[in-house]
Structures are given as C-alpha cells and as structure tokens.
Amino acid sequence: MTTRALPSSPPASQGVDASGVHAFLDALDADPAIEPHSLMIMRHGRLVASGWWAPYTAERPHLLYSLSKSFTATAAGLAAAEGLLRLDDPVLSYFPELDADVTDPRSRAMLVRHVASMASGHDAETLDRARALDRDNLVRGFLRLPPDRDPGTVFAYNQPTTYTLAAIVQRVTGQSLTDYLRPRLFDPLGIGEAAWQRDRSGRELGFSGLHATTDAALRLGLLYLQGGVWEGERLLPEAWVAEATRTQIATASGPLTGSDWGQGYGLQFWMSRHGYRGDGAYGQFCLVLPEQDAVIATTAATVEMQKVLDLVWEHLLPAFRPGPLSGAEQADAALAERLAGLALPPAAGKPAPPERTEDWSAVVLTPDDSSPARLRGETSVEVAAGADGALLTLVEDGHRLELRLPRDGWSVAEEPVPTAVSGGWTDAGTLEAEVVFLETPHRLAVTCSLPERTFTAHWRTEPLTPLPLRAMGAPRRSA
C-alpha cells in the first residue's frame, strides 16, 4: 500500500464533468474485448475519480508490462542527475569487458541516448535473436547483433534496448532498480510495495516485469506533469523531464501511422495524439495530459489498446472543462457510488452439480489434446465436489493450486499466489471455472469434462512470459 493518500476532491470542483467519466465507464462495460481492472484520474493535483473492478483492489500490485520502461527511464534520469551516466556516452563504455566481442562499428557507435529512445539502428525487435546469441548475458547478445542502420536514424520497438539501459543503471549504481529507486522515487512519491522480475543473470528486466499499484503509475505521471517536482522538492531534473517527454525518434511508419503509436517516441515514453504516456501490454496506461493538467492511469486486460485510448479521447478528454462546475453535487456523488461498486461479472454456472454430486466427488482429469493452450509440464486437474460447491485443484509438475469455487461471486485466495475464482456446473458433465491471477492482467479459463475425464485450459490473454502458475504474481510471491 502507499504510505500516504493523494489529495482528493469532487470532480466538479476541478472542472471534471462526471457525465464524461460515466460515458467512459459505459463504453468499457459495453465492449466485450476490454476487461477493465482499474481507473484513476487526477486533475489540478487532486484525485477526482478512482475505482477498481472487483476482485481487483487498490492495494494489490499489478504487472505493468512495458509501463515498467517509464520507471526505468526515471531511474536513468536520476543516475544522470548524480553524474553516474550521460546520454551521449557510448553504450560500450559502460561494458568494457565486452570490448573485444563487439566489433561492428554501428554497435560500437551506439549511445545511451539511442537505447533510451529505441533508436539503436535495428529495424525490428531483437529479443529472440539477442538471446540466441547469448542466453546468459542479454547485453552481450544485443551488442553483438549488428544494427541494420546507423543508430539514431530508425525506430524499432526493441526490448534489449531498454534492458541495456537498465543494465547500465544497475551497473553504475551498484544496486537493483527497485533498491535504487526506493529512496529517490518510491518513498518520496509515497509509493509502497513494488517488485521487479529478474532474468537468469539476476538483473531486473527494466523493459517489463514491474509489479506496482495503479496509484504508483498515477504518481509517476504526476511527477512528470509537474516537471520533476513533488511537494515542492525537485526529484528529477527539469531538463530530463523535457528530454524524456519530447519526440526523440519518429514512429509514423507502416501500421503505426495515424495511431497513438505513430506520434513519436521519447525516452521510454510514447507521444500521444494528446500529451504523452507510458504504456504496457494489455492496457496498462499512464496518460499525462499537460494541456488539461491531468493524469489518467488504468490497468486492464485487452488486446484492443488503441480502442481504450480512443475511448479516453472520446469521453474523458471533453470532460475536462476550463473551470469548476456548479450544481454538480448529485452527479459527483452518483459517480463516486458507481466507482465504489465496480466489479467484473463472475463466470456462469450452478454451485452444485445438477444431478449426482457423488459422481464428481473425487475426479482426476488429464489434459485434452485439443486444449487451446497447454499448461507447463505434467498437468492434471482434481475435482472434489460437494453440496456447497467444489474444490478445483490444478496440478502442475507436482505443484498444487487449490481453488475453492464459491456459491456466487468470486472466491479470493492468497497462497501460493493471489487468485480469484468463479464458475460452476453448466451441465451434469461439465464444470467451468475462471481463474484470475490478481497481480497480473491474466485469467485462465478451465473446462472439466466428466464423461471424457479430461480438461481444457486457455488464457483469455496470453502471458508474454510463460511462467508456472505458482509464479503468476509479483516476485515476492513466487520466490
């Protein structure tokens, strides 16, 4: 949890029309391709709206995916302010032990600025190719992969660039990103729990893997909106904020043209049709809108990320008015009530088998070969049914994840990883469950067939990094 609350006020007092927020919520609810998890809106330094769709809650960290990159950039900015790195230094100068391995002149000419702005000269993602060159040292694999063009001349969304920037920060500071950011960013901003996934070398990824609350993303955006100043104290140099949030490299080419991904790229921030943003896969957003003096943070599970931004521009942007709104007390109260009651609908199904409960009392199911997405390793599902519902146990390589199906709503468990489950019997021979991994955007749909003694499982949104089920949470959970 955060260490202190953000100042708040009714939306109308900050010139925010509650009807626009209602329209945005209506649009999210109406679109089956978008599963919202949280929404927070700040205007003029005041929190005017916030809500979480149960079973997601405010205090839980959420996997931010590539929104992690903006936190990595902030760490780089802090290190630059301390004189530990410079944007115009060659990347290779921070890894002298690789000098003999990196012979391509373009790789040797690559600057910190280039990796910070996704402008390494490669014309496509290099993650798999860099890993193939060196599984144990991604920086070495990346620098051994010759750029296609001169650094600084072409944009490509490219995870090893951010990984390399993060590796530089971790090297020059002698600390992990989270340890370095704790006294310099997290504590001053009032950000509580945060944890970062690491790779096999022990480095925090930088380009992804940060688990933090929606509130943490909102506070980061507010820091940038305020030019690097927080509660009267300068945390980030104003010059760094300006560099990070202006176009460093053009992105308007091919399918990106005209979209919010075609507006240019800064230092681990995207330029938008309005303002700028950090964003992560499946709808993790921190939108900074300087013209409106506003910040919007969301978490979600959707592949339709442009659609989420379109809805923000359609409904929320016009809700920001020039001055306070009068006579809006009832509208503000109605919005607060709606936000407090947000919830994802539970899965359909009856709480007990429609016929013989004893047929389901101790069933072991094996994977159906036609399952759209197989779990990792040797898997099975055990069902122990009774009049009050069922205990569904997912067994993966001998590790057990026990899930109690509730009579209605969601049943939340904390160990071995935070989950929420809902579901039930859709007919006498079929049990269906939805398993939400509460520290991620992901949910697993499981269907059990009694006649076939098999189960199928598929992800509603596929995790970008395959992990065992017991590790589908913040690193503190999976340690």
* Residue 294 dihedral angles phi and psi, to the nearest 5°: -140, 155
C-alpha–C-alpha distance, residues 320 and 49, integer Å = 13
CB 196 within 8 A of CB 186: no
Q: What architecture is the 11-82+167-340 domain classified under in CATH?
A: 3-Layer(aba) Sandwich (3.40)
Type of residue numbered 269: F
Query: What mean pLDDT value characterizes the chain?
Result: 93
Mean pLDDT of 187-203: 94
Token code pair at residue 47: 């929190």
pLDDT digits (tens, 9 = 90+) for 118-131: 999 999 999 999 99
Break the chain into its structural domains and give their ranges.
Answer: 11-82+167-340, 357-478
C-alpha–C-alpha distance, residues 230 and 221, integer Å = 11
Query: Of all residues in the chain, what percent carry a pLDDT higher than 90?
Result: 84
pLDDT band at 1 (very low <50, low <70, confident <90, very high): very low
Check pLDDT > 50 for residue 177.
yes
pLDDT digits (tens, 9 = 90+) for 48-107: 999 999 999 999 999 999 999 999 999 999 999 999 999 999 999 999 999 999 999 999
Mean pLDDT of 357-361: 80
CB 385 within 8 A of CB 355: no
pLDDT band at 388 (very low <50, low <70, confident <90, very high): low
Q: What is the pLDDT of residue 374?
A: 57
Four-point Cα dihedral 409, 410, 411, 413, nearest 10 = -160
Type of residue numbered 365: L
* Residue 410 dihedral angles phi and psi, to the nearest 5°: -115, 140
Q: What is the pLDDT of residue 3?
A: 64
pLDDT band at 387 (very low <50, low <70, confident <90, very high): low
The reply to whether 357-478 shares the fold of 11-82+167-340 is no
Check pLDDT > 80 for residue 181.
yes
pLDDT band at 257 (very low <50, low <70, confident <90, very high): confident
**What is the value of pTM for the model shown?**
0.95
**CA dihedral sign of residues 240, 241, 244, 246:** negative
Check pLDDT > 60 for residue 384.
yes
When mean pLDDT is compared across 199-208, 306-315, 333-342, 348-357, the lowest value belongs to 348-357
Q: What architecture is the 357-478 domain classified under in CATH?
A: Beta Barrel (2.40)
When mean pLDDT is compared across 51-65, 154-168, 350-364, 366-380, the lowest value belongs to 366-380
C-alpha–C-alpha distance, residues 317 and 14, integer Å = 14
